[in-house]
């Protein structure tokens, strides 16, 4: 022991230390202006003394602007601050799953220290074209409306956009809950949200066992603007740690509107020139460099993927505002949520007409493609006729049948946000809807029908479910078995059916 001590003492380098220092000229609102620090690099960590650090963002000829990370105490004008020579990094290891960390990777869930294996810089360059391949695997959200008509693939960026309280976070959390048996690691980045909302989300994830494969990066509303600005990049670096291991990762940014506002705050305090809506000129780059890091890598580079679900909050459904249009142009599609639909009881309140997935059916299992192919068209036709619903007594039989079909398909698409459905069950339910087996069921009994049918599948239809899962498509024999199962089920519940009349039915789509 003494020998080691002597050795340590002998090895210490006691030659004069040469450091680059600066003198604080102004400090306020979380921004430090300093003179000196001539050779400071952009994005470098600056030591503000007393174990506090700042990020150098403004490099001017005679002064530097440094954003303080966290709250700063004991700093005053005239103090000496030093370069660290390091760029901002976050410590990662496999143990980060199940933990809640702040924007710097420090755990804030009170469950002890986090042993880190690697330090990954927050700012990294996205993978190049050569290392990528096109998205070909589905990311199952468990939500029928999305998996059927706006399918998301692993490696895609799909924007969730809507007004406040339309269910944006619910879709993201529902997707995380559905990844339990999909082998996908989840990162939930919380930017500017209420701490109480985050606590509730965390509790739900924990109760459903989803926290075991999720990391939460939290920069809630009381965190400094710098932390809110850095949190998404920290989350992305954590996701890239797992990407490098060849895993599939889902990252949710909730939400990027508050992220842009935090960046605007920092930029204005740094006296950078402001542009439209007082946002700085590089607010597009702020989001594009973040979202470009979500990708699907080819087999040579591990074959992993990062799927990004950024969330943007619009004001009064205005998708042509500055930040929404920016992010829409970056992502590979959007899920558009509307307040009117939400208030009318359509949950998830997805506007299927305006929502799009630019990856589309390349990321869908064949079984789903078979049944959902015509659903979007059915719903579009229904929407056109919806205005005539009030005249239903005066319509011709065929239009009435179309309306009835549309109403029932709409009912089927309603879903509890925390009730994800596996693909085979989704396929079975949608198959029933598009092939007219629900046309006989009373409108207000459709949800009940679905619930009981899912139970029925669990008991009597378990073989069919397994077959769909294994074969990933609906063969003719499977279709016949499924049809028979549905017909028997309908027989059992005669009291839910409308009284038998002469009706013209729309031919079932195969």
Shortest distance in whole angstroms from residue 3 CB to other proteins: 13
Closer CB to other proteins, residue 4 or residue 459?
Answer: 4
The reply to whether 206 sits near other proteins by the rule CB under 8 A is no
Residue 11 interacting with other proteins (CB under 8 A): yes
Q: In the bound complex, what is the minimum distance in angstroms from residue 61's beta carbon to other proteins?
A: 13
Return the number of the residue (17 or 491) whose C-beta is nearest other proteins: 17
Smallest separation (angstroms) from other proteins to the CB of 44:
14
> 191 pairs with which residues across the strands?
219
Q: Rounded to whole angstroms, how far apart are CA atoms 302 and 131?
A: 9
Residue 350 burial (C-beta neighbours within 10 Å; 0-12, 13-18, 19+): buried
User: Binding mask 42-81 vs other proteins (x if CB under 8 A, - otherwise)?
Assistant: --------------------------------------x-
Helix axes 423-434, 446-459, angle to 10 degrees: 130
45: its two tokens: 């960590």
Give 204: exposed, middle or buried? Use CB within 10 Å, 0-12, 13-18, 19+: middle
CA distance 139 to 184: 9
Nearer to other proteins, 39 or 300 (CB): 39
3-state secondary structure of 434: helix
Q: Rounded CA gap, 388 and 377, in Å? A: 18
E strand or H helix at 240, and its extent?
helix 225-243
Asked whether position 2 contacts other proteins by CB under 8 A, the answer is no
Rg (CA), the chain: 27
Choose which of 1, 2, 3, 12 interacts with other proteins (CB under 8 A): 12
Q: What residues pair up with 91 in beta bridges, in sequence order? A: 119
Q: Are 107 and 222 in contact (CB under 8 A)?
A: no
The residue within the footprint of other proteins, chosen from 13, 61, 181, 394 (CB under 8 A), is 13
User: What part of residues 221-280 is at the interface with other proteins (CB under 8 A)?
Assistant: none
Q: Select from 17-25, 214-222, 374-382, 385-393 the region that touches other proteins (CB under 8 A).
A: 17-25
Q: Any idea what DSSP says for residue 480?
A: H
Q: Which stretch binds other proteins (CB under 8 A): 19-27, 311-319, 323-331, 466-474?
A: 19-27
Evaluate whether 36 touches 22 at the Cβ level (below 8 Å).
Answer: yes
- Could you tell me if 311 and 260 are in contact, meaning their C-beta atoms sit under 8 angstroms apart? no
**82 given a catalytic annotation:** no
Burial of 181 from C-beta contacts in 10 A (0-12 / 13-18 / 19+):
exposed
Strands 80-87 and 100-101: unpaired
Query: Hey, what's the torsion of the CAs at 392, 396, 399, 404, to 10 degrees?
Result: 50
- The answer to the question of residue 24 lying near other proteins (CB under 8 A) is no
Q: How many residues contact other proteins, by CB under 8 A?
A: 20
38 binds other proteins, rule: CB under 8 A: yes
Cα–Cα distance measured from residue 175 to residue 448, given in angstroms and rounded to the nearest whole number: 23
Give yes or no for residue 16 binding other proteins (CB under 8 A): yes
In Å, what is the CA distance from 291 to each residue of 107, 126, 159, 260, 340? 25, 9, 10, 14, 30
393 binds other proteins (CB under 8 A): no
Report the nearest approach of other proteins to the CB of residue 87 (Å): 20
CB of 5 or CB of 500, closer to other proteins? 5
Cβ nearer to other proteins, comparing 81 with 375 = 81
CB of 72 to other proteins, least distance (A): 21
Of the candidates 157, 358, 383, 408, the residue annotated as catalytic is 358
Q: How many whole angstroms separate alpha carbon 404 and alpha carbon 392?
A: 10
Q: Which residue among 8, 125, 299, 387 contacts other proteins (CB under 8 A)?
A: 8
Give me the least distance between CB of 338 and other proteins, in Å please. 56
Q: Applying CB under 8 A, does 9 fall inside the site for other proteins?
A: yes
Please give the Cα distance from 422 to 339 (Å, whole number): 27
Q: Which stretch binds other proteins (CB under 8 A): 18-26, 193-201, 266-274, 327-335?
A: 18-26
Q: Does 18 sit near other proteins (CB under 8 A)?
A: yes
Q: Verify binding: residue 494, other proteins, rule CB under 8 A.
A: no
Closer by beta carbon to other proteins, 22 or else 424: 22
Options 17, 390, 477, 499; binder of other proteins; rule CB under 8 A: 17
Provide the minimum distance between the beta carbon of 27 and other proteins in the complex, in angstroms, as a whole number: 18
37 touches other proteins by CB under 8 A: yes
Minimum distance, C-beta of residue 92 to other proteins, in the bound complex (Å): 22
CB 306 within 8 A of CB 249: yes
Secondary structure (3-state) at 118: strand
In the complex, the smallest distance separating the C-beta of residue 42 from other proteins, rounded to whole angstroms, is 17
User: Is the CB of 35 or the CB of 136 nearer to other proteins?
Assistant: 35
Q: Which residues contact 317 (CB under 8 A, 6 or more apart)?
A: 162, 163, 338, 339
- Could you count the other beta carbons within 10 Å of the beta carbon of residue 144? 25
Interaction pattern, residues 76-95, with other proteins; x per rule: CB under 8 A: ----x---------------
Question: Which amino acids are annotated catalytic?
Answer: 358
Residues that bind other proteins (CB under 8 A): 4, 8-9, 11-14, 16-22, 35-39, 80
């Amino acid at each position: 022991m003494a020998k080691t001590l002597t050795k340590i003492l002998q090895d210490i380098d006691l030659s004069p230390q040469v450091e680059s220092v600066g003198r604080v000229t102004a400090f306020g609102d979380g921004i430090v202006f300093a003179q000196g620090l001539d050779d400071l690099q952009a994005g470098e960590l600056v030591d503000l003394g007393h174990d506090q650090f700042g990020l150098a963002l403004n490099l001017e000829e005679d002064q530097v602007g440094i954003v303080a990370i966290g709250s700063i105490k004991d700093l005053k004008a005239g103090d000496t601050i030093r370069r660290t020579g390091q760029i901002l990094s976050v410590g990662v290891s496999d143990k980060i799953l199940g933990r809640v960390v702040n924007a710097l990777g420090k755990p804030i869930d009170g469950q002890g220290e986090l042993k880190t294996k690697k330090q990954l810089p927050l700012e990294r360059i996205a993978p190049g074209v050569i290392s990528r391949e096109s998205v070909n695997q589905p990311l199952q959200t468990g939500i029928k409306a999305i998996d059927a008509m706006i399918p998301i693939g692993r490696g895609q960026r799909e924007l969730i956009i809507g007004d406040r309280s339309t269910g944006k976070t619910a879709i993201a959390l529902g997707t995380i809950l559905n990844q339990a048996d999909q082998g996908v690691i989840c990162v939930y980045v919380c930017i500017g949200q209420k701490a109480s909302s985050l606590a509730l989300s965390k509790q739900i994830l924990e109760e459903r066992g989803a926290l075991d494969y999720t990391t939460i990066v939290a920069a809630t509303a009381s965190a400094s603007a710098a932390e809110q600005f850095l949190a998404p990049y920290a989350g992305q670096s954590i996701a890239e740690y797992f990407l490098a291991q060849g895993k599939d990762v889902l990252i949710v940014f909730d939400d990027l509107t508050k992220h842009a506002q935090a960046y605007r705050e920092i930029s204005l305090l740094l006296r950078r020139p402001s542009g439209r809506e007082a946002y700085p000129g590089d607010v597009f780059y702020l989001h594009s460099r973040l979202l470009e890091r979500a990708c699907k890598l080819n087999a040579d580079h591990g074959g992993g993927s990062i799927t990004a679900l950024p969330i943007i909050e619009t004001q009064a459904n205005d998708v042509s505002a500055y930040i929404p249009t920016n992010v829409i142009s970056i992502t590979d599609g959007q899920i558009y949520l509307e307040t009117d639909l939400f208030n009318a009881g359509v949950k998830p309140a997805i506007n299927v007409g305006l929502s799009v997935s630019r990856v589309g059916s390349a990321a869908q299992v064949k079984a789903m493609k078979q049944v959902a192919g015509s659903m979007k068209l059915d719903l579009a036709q229904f929407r056109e006729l919806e205005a005539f619903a009030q005249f239903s007594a005066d319509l011709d039989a065929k239009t009435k049948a179309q309306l009835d079909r549309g109403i029932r398909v709409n009912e089927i698409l309603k879903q509890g946000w925390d009730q994800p459905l596996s693909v085979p069950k989704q396929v079975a339910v949608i198959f029933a809807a598009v092939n007219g087996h629900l046309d006989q069921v009373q409108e207000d009994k459709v949800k009940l029908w679905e619930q009981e049918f899912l139970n029925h599948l669990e008991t009597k239809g378990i073989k069919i479910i397994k077959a769909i899962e294994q074969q990933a498509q609906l063969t003719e024999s499977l279709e016949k078995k499924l049809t028979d199962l549905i017909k028997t089920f309908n027989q059992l519940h005669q009291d839910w059916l409308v009284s038998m009349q002469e009706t013209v039915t729309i031919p079932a789509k195969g």
